[in-house]
Structure formats: structure tokens, C-alpha cells
Structure 1
Amino acid sequence: MKPLNELSTRDQILQMMKTSGPLSAKDITDRLQITEMAVRRHLGTMERDGLIESKMIRQTLGRPTAVYGLTELAQSLFPKNYHTLTLDLLGELAEDAGEDTVNRLFERRRDKLKHQYEAELKDRPFPDKVRRLAEIQNDNGYMTELESSGENEFILKEHNCPISQIADRYNHACECELNLFESLLDAHVERTECLAQNGRRCLYIIRKEK
């Protein structure tokens, strides 16, 4: 995920909404450190272009506030590697050979990725392994964000899923990703939020095995 200061103002706003969810004009103003008038001008243009939509939310005190979130059109601007054809072919395979065969395909993909990355990660200290895995996922379009939450404990957030439509239909793809992380990092990995299960992102708690 590119740093915000490397993006245009419009793309900064889109990325903030992708990673944080709906935001008010004041939220965006505070983060970008530009005038509220400039922010509202951008929001007006983006709403007219069909990239964002607004809704009113009630607050404990004061008047309702407008917040802005991404439309489906805007979601399509973020990296997606899937095609409808892939789902069609997997559906045909499941119908002909059974869903276990489709699951084995995901497992073979997991094993291939493990073979591809394990030599690079093998001899690194644990924190470096986690950081490098986050970089790999980011390069593959997952829009990652990594936080340290304690000694040898990390939170990995994936704000985008390039295979989201496939994972929505075949949950085994998500399980294979979890298994891949555990194998590459030699760590306990827990997924607490998942895009394929109506989460806002995929969130992993990663702890080094004792």
C-alpha cells in the first residue's frame, strides 16, 4: 500500500475510505491537513463521478453528520486479479469432480507459494519474516498494514483481497492462506476478521511459537 503522501488528493481520500471505512469531511480534513472547503470540493466531484456516496448518521450530541463511503464503482479501482471465467471453471470442476478436487487445487497453490517464498524467509529473525511477508502480500495487491502489538506479536491487516469473489464462494482458499502464513512464519496465526465473511478487512494476529 503506497504512503498517502505519494498519492493524489482524490486517491488519498479513496485509500483512507478503503482502509478506515466511511469518513466525515472533518475526518478527512484532519488527516490531510488541507482546508475543509478543498475537501468538500473533492467530495462533491467524487460523488458526482459515482465513486463515493453519503449518508447521515446520528450523533449523541448535536445534529446528524454526513459520512462518505466507497461505491461499488470505487471498489473496482483497487487491485483485483480474478475473472468471472475463473469462478465458472471452478464451478464446472466442482460439478464434474466434486468440491474436494477444487479444495485440492487451493492446497496445491498454497504449497507452490510456500515453496516460492520459504527460502527467502527461512533464516530471517521472526520480526523480519513477518515484515517481509507483509511486503509480499502488499506486492500481490492485498493492501497490507502491519502493526507490532507486543514482543514477537504482530497484527497484519489486508484491506483488499485480489481473489475476494473466489474466496466468497470457496472458503477453503482463506484456510489455505492461513495455513501458508503459519507454515512460512513458524508461528501461531489467528484470523479475527475476514473480507469473505463480511468483514471490512482480513485481520491476522501473529504470535511466535514458544
Structure 2
Amino acid sequence: MNQTLETSTRKVILSMLKTQGPLSVQDIAKQLGITEMAVRRHIHSMEKDNLLEATLMRQAMGRPTSVYTLAPQADELFPKKYLQLTLDLLDELLEDEGQTKIERLFEGRQDKLEARYQPRMQAKDLEARVAELAQIQNENGYMVDWTDEGDDRYVLSEHNCPIAKVANTYQQACQCELNLFRNLLDASVERTECLAKGASKCVYIISKK
């Protein structure tokens, strides 16, 4: 079985479990018209990826049989509308409360992020703080790399922005990120390129104050 078919069958099984609830290997094989051995191979793979959970179900006759349901992690594989919901809520807030309220909202988010990450910056020199910031941003999906330019000067680049569509509409997101970097690094930070303004990446020049 080629890789494309393997992936397609896996997606179909996940969709079946999403829409039909608990199913046994026999149920899945019958609906798909494939062998139980083939189904078990897919099940085993998805269990390894923590996408499925198995429970034993007693039957009127014979031995108990395993039925499978989606694990919580599998929910992320299905379409979500979080981005549009976020934009709609921000638009409503802007219309009802005005620009000042939007700014306070982003500033509040900045404060929360700063409180969360500041402990990771303690007892570190500037280079170590830059490295830690890069790690934090990578954990959040920003695809960061950084270089040491010498003389306590660093260049940090973000090649992806998980909140790009929000930032394109609400520039406060970009300003709060810049302020967050300055506070976490306790350094001079200037942004020279910005994804939200059409650049291919966000670039920050970092140096001692």
C-alpha cells in the first residue's frame, strides 16, 4: 500500500470515529471494505501517535472486544475557526469600545506573557537571554533563528507568525511583541522587517542598552 493511500485510509478512519463514535476493528473493516489486518495496522500506528483510545466492551456472547475512540489530541486534526472567531470578537470590541480598549487588550496580553516568561530570563547574560527568547518563540511556532554579530549585538529572525492575520489588521500585536522583547531581554531592540507589513520575515536587532 503506497504512502498516499495509507494517509487517506488513516484520515477516513479518524473521520469515522469523529462522526460515529466508538467502533471496533470489525466495524471499520466492514465499512471500508478492507481486511481487519489492514485496519489493525492503521489502529496501531494511530495509537502510537496518541490519537486513539481503546476500551474493552463486553458482548452478549464470546470474549470482550476492543472499541476505539478519538483521544483528546486528535481533536486538533479537525478544522477549527479560532482565527475568524478572534477577528470577529476584536472587530466587535473595536466597534463597541473603541481603539483604546483594543490597545489595553493587547497590553494585557503582553503583561501576561511577560509574567510567564520572565522567570526563564533570570540569572542569564544577554546572549543567553536571546537564546532563551528564540526557544520560547520556537515553542510558539515562530520558526526563529538568531546570530551573534559580535560586540553584544544580535539579530533574531522570525520566519513565521502564527497570528499573522490578526497582526495584519491590528498592528498593536506587533508593537506589543516588540515591547515584550525589550522587557524580557532588558536590552535595546529594534524591528527592521515585519511580516505584517509585507516582509518575508520579522527581523529584530538586539544590543545592550
Q: TM-score range by the shorter chain?
A: 0.5 to 0.7
Cα distance, 1:103 vs. partner? Answer: 1.1
Deviations 1:116-162 (A, max 9, x none): 01112021111101100001001100000111111211100000000
Look up the match of 2:177. Answer: 177
The separation in 1 between residues aligned to 2:140 and 2:170, in whole angstroms, is 20
Distance 2:188 2:134 in 1: 16
Gapped regions of structure 1 (runs ≥ 5): 1-80
**How big is each residue's C-alpha offset from its partner over 1:22-53, in whole Å with a ceiling of 9 and x where there is no partner?**
xxxxxxxxxxxxxxxxxxxxxxxxxxxxxxxx
What CA distance in whole angstroms lies between the structure 2 residues aligned with 1:206 and 1:153? Answer: 6
Report sequence identity in percent. Answer: 51
Contact map agreement 1:82 1:163 (CA 8 A) in 2? no
Q: 2:122 aligns to what? A: 122
Q: Which SS does the other structure have where 2:106 is aligned?
A: helix
Which amino acid in the other structure matches residue 185 of structure 2? L
CA deviation after TM superposition for structure 1 residue 110, in Å: 0.4
Aligned to 1:167: 167
Q: Distance in 2 between matches of 1:193 and 1:164?
A: 14
Q: Distance in 1 between matches of 2:120 and 2:135?
A: 12
Q: Does 1:207 align with 2:207?
A: yes
Counterpart of 1:108 in structure 2 is 108
Q: Distance in 2 between matches of 1:111 and 1:159?
A: 24
TM-score (norm 1): 0.60
Given that residues 188 and 206 in structure 1 are in contact (C-alpha distance below 8 angstroms), is that contact kept between their aligned partners in structure 2? yes
Letter in 2 for 1:151: D
| C-alpha distance in 1 between matches for 2:175 and 2:148 | 23
Partner in structure 2 of residue 148 of structure 1:
148
2:71 corresponds in structure 1 to none
Distance 1:193 1:140, change over 3 A: same
Equivalent position amino acid for 1:92 in 2: E
SS of match in other structure, 1:123: coil
Greater CA radius of gyration, 1 or 2? 2
Q: In the alignment, which residue of structure 2 is the partner of 1:84?
A: 84
- Equivalent residue, structure 1, for 2:136: 136
Match of 1:56 in 2: none
Q: Encode CA deviations 1:29-85: one digit per residue, 9 max, x unaligned.
A: xxxxxxxxxxxxxxxxxxxxxxxxxxxxxxxxxxxxxxxxxxxxxxxxxxxx96111
